[in-house]
């Protein structure tokens, strides 16, 4: 049985911490990718009863586009 020096033990501990950080990073990325895939394939909702169901992501995108357009409309108005 070999005994490790203090320097070798410190290296081993750092290596384990890096491995744990990489594992956590991988798990978080996997969860985010799965959430995005499920969000894109989410059940479509008919928000205004028009018979045209929309994806939730498309609804958020349209809301953001409306916000963006109105923000720049106000900035470009001729009076303060």
- Please name which of 63, 59, 56 lies closest in space to residue 36, comparing C-alpha atoms: 56
Q: For residue 22, what pLDDT band results from cuts at 50, 70 and 90?
A: confident
Rounded Cα gap, residues 50 and 35, in angstroms: 28
CA 69 to chain CA mean position, Å: 24
Q: What is the per-residue pLDDT for 28?
A: 92
Asked if the model's pLDDT at residue 26 lies above 80, the reply is yes
Kindly state the tokens that stand for 14: 């750092």
Domain borders along the chain are: 1-41, 43-80
57 close to 40: Cβ distance less than 8 angstroms: yes
pTM: 0.39
Residue 31 or 60, more confident: 31
Q: What is the per-residue pLDDT for 72?
A: 76
Summarised one tens digit per residue, pLDDT across range 32-67 is 888 887 777 666 667 677 777 777 777 788 888 998
């Amino acid at each position: 049985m070999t005994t490790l020096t203090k320097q070798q033990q410190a290296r081993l501990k750092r290596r384990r911490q890096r491995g744990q950080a990489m594992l956590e990073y991988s798990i978080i990325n996997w969860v985010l990718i799965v959430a995005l895939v499920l969000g894109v394939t989410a059940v479509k909702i008919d928000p205004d009863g028009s018979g045209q169901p929309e994806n939730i992501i498309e609804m958020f995108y349209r809301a953001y586009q409306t916000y963006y357009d109105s923000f720049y409309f106000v900035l470009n108005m001729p009076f303060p």
